[in-house]
Amino acid sequence: MTSQINQEQEFRLLVDPQPCSGQRNMAIDETLLQLASQSKTPTLRLYEWSEPTVSLGYFQKEPEPSSENSFKNLPFVRRLSGGGAILHHHELTYSFVVPQSHILSKNPSYLYHFIHQEIIKSFQEFKIFAAMRSASNKEKNSKFLCFGRGDANDIMLNGHKIVGSAQRRRKGNTLQHGSILIRRSEHAPEFPGLEELAQCSFPFKEFKESLIQNISNALVRKPFHMELNSTEEEKVDQLIEEKYRFLKWSH
């Protein structure tokens, strides 16, 4: 058995064994982006959050401490990507990192469509019939929470946004991460999840397997499971210590 990824025929797959804190989740995604320039192959990561956490878009102002909202006592973390705030609670999150050398990095805007169509295909396998919002239904992006905003690539079900993604582009490498809203959170009850909208129990494990398979087919590459190595773990710890434990960054 080979322990080295085949740079031409495989992509790296990381399925987190357990949910992590917001700081660690975001530090892992940045680490994967930093590693991308040394690689020729994309990386897909699937993960969850150990506690309800609000992530802020890169440039987004944090809410005033005095403001009344249902998540003011929750942990906050800043993302490397743009867009609005997200309450990560009952969700499955993905990140997908494409190195500069891969053809998908040539047009990063297309990457939203590329990943979202595979998510939609996987939903269909479980009789969940979602679709991308059309460009004509685009809404003004003035709302604080991402799931209250509108973008042509959002995945919609019964008129509600259930998947939204954002990107960071650095030196030709692209990190895209996105949230699949599984169930309504008591902290943001205005946003129903898949389980409420499709009236089903979300098949977490089977959905993950299906999504990996569909992305594998679309990339024409096989998944290669590879956890973080010790050097990567050190980088993650360093990013938490120097960056992600703070909400204010000097950009």
Partner 1 sequence: MSSSDLKFAKSHEWAKLDGDVVTIGISKFAVNLLTDLVYIELPAVGDSVSSGVSIGEIESVKAVSDIYSSVTGEIVEINDSLEEDLGALTEDPYGKGWIVKIKIADPSELDQLMDQKAYDELCQSEAH
Question: Pick the catalytic residue: 146, 175, 180, 211?
Answer: 146
Count of residues near partner 1 by CB under 8 A: 25
The structure tokens 């802020």 sit at 56
Residues 122-141 that bind partner 1 (CB under 8 A): 141
* Binds partner 1 by CB under 8 A, chosen from 43, 81, 95, 185: 81
Torsions phi, psi for 15 (to 5 deg): -110, 110
CA distance 215 to 241: 33
CA angle 96, 128, 191 (to 5 degrees): 75
Counting contacts by CB under 8 A, is residue 165 touching partner 1? yes
- Name the token pair of 237: 């710890």
CB of 18 to partner 1, least distance (A): 28
Task: Please say whether the beta carbons of 83 and 154 come within 8 A.
Answer: no
* Binds partner 1 by CB under 8 A, chosen from 88, 102, 116, 168: 168
CA distance 213 to 224: 12
User: Which CB sits closer to partner 1, 121 or 170?
Assistant: 170
The structure tokens 């309504």 sit at 184
Amino acid at 12: R
User: Which CB sits closer to partner 1, 237 or 242?
Assistant: 242
User: Which CB sits closer to partner 1, 33 or 198?
Assistant: 33
111 CB neighbour count, 10 Å cutoff: 22
* Binds partner 1 by CB under 8 A, chosen from 21, 69, 145, 170: 170
Counting contacts by CB under 8 A, is residue 203 touching partner 1? no
- Name the token pair of 205: 């494990």
Counting contacts by CB under 8 A, is residue 107 touching partner 1? yes
Active site residue 146: yes
Q: Residues in the site for partner 1, rule: CB under 8 A?
A: 57-59, 80-83, 106-109, 112, 141, 151, 164-172, 174, 251
